[in-house]
Amino acid sequence: MSSVNQSVILEEFVQNANNDEMFYKKNDNLEEFYVIPISLAKTPEISIKELTCIFCKNISTCPLKCKDCGLIGCFSCIKNFGKKTEFNCLKTNTFHIFNQLQEESQKYFDNLLISCPSRESNCKETLLYKNLKVHLDKCKFWKGTYSCLGCGKFDILSEIECHVLVCDQITWNCNYCNMPFKRMELGMHLEICDSKPSQCIKCNLMIQNNIMDKHITKDECLYQIMMDMKNSFNGKSYSSYFIKFK
């Protein structure tokens, strides 16, 4: 094969690899990627070693193979972790030198039968690895289908369901005044909410904060005190009540 053809093939591979990297990226601003857990593999006769990325320990996406030890790495993982000494090649004790997969190794991936990575979000499809991106482009459970109503984050359903439980930007209505507040502000609001009931220090009734001052001066508070006194007198002496009341 001529050097020109090799250059064209390499350029095409890098372009495809960059496209794959963007496809599986969770956040444009962070080096976080969706992964394909090895548990999704449905073809037991295929060697796990031939599929597993040595960095993320998942099924490799856009895989490359070390020319010395034969281990596999994701294109994105190699970019992020390939120069870290803890991942040195076991044969050369230095950085791995990764090459494109040979035809036989590529077949391992192409013929791998896997469950859709969105299976926890109810996608029941089983497909070949080589068809994964085509499927995910159409899968309604894959990333981008669901968004957080608070911060607008896009993700697969199972991830969004966990995210909304902690998102500070989610809006909740106060249980007492029904006014909307972001989760990060709701706690502070509840401490001062005028519609939240508090216990009257005189009659022990639960009264809304915004009318507490008027309540204490009203007959209802005095009436409740008198009723409590009446109930307390049953079976007790007057003196014991007043000692307690004081």
Which residue, 206, 236, 242, is CA-closest to 221? 206
**In the structure, what pLDDT confidence band is assigned to residue 83 with cuts at 50, 70 and 90?**
confident
The pLDDT of residue 174: 92
Q: Is residue 227 part of a domain?
A: yes
Query: Of 95, 115, 135, which marks where a domain is finished?
Result: 115
Q: Is residue 19 part of a domain?
A: yes
Which tens digit of pLDDT belongs to each residue from 138-158? Answer: 887 776 667 788 888 777 666
Please check the confidence at residue 190 and state whether its pLDDT lies above 70.
yes
Which CATH number belongs to the domain containing residue 71 in this structure?
Answer: 3.30.40.10
Do 111 and 204 share a domain, yes or no? no
Q: Is residue 56 part of a domain?
A: yes
Do 10 and 107 share a domain, yes or no? yes
DSSP 8-state secondary structure symbol assigned to residue 101: P
Please check the confidence at residue 222 and state whether its pLDDT lies above 80.
no
CA torsion through residues 78, 84, 87, 88, sign = positive
Measured distance CA(119)–CA(62) in Å, rounded: 21
Query: Of 115, 149, 177, which marks where a domain is finished?
Result: 115
Structure tokens at 183: 């989760």
Amino acid identity for residue 240 in this structure: S
The pLDDT of residue 128: 92
Parent domain of 227: 200-245
Q: Is residue 137 part of a domain?
A: no
78-86 long-range contacts (CB < 8 A, ≥24 apart) are 79/21, 80/31, 80/55, 81/55, 82/55
Residues 6+ apart with CB under 8 A from 126: 42, 113, 114, 115, 116
Query: Of 66, 83, 115, which marks where a domain is finished?
Result: 115
Q: Is residue 230 part of a domain?
A: yes
Q: Is residue 150 part of a domain?
A: no
The structural domain count of the chain equals: 2
Measured distance CA(51)–CA(40) in Å, rounded: 12
Are 220 and 211 a contacting pair, CB within 8 Å? no
Q: What is the mean pLDDT of residues 80-101?
A: 85
Are 33 and 42 a contacting pair, CB within 8 Å? no
Are 221 and 205 a contacting pair, CB within 8 Å? yes
Higher per-residue confidence, 155 vs 210: 210
Q: Is residue 50 part of a domain?
A: yes
**In the structure, what pLDDT confidence band is assigned to residue 239 with cuts at 50, 70 and 90?**
very low
Strand partners, 92: none
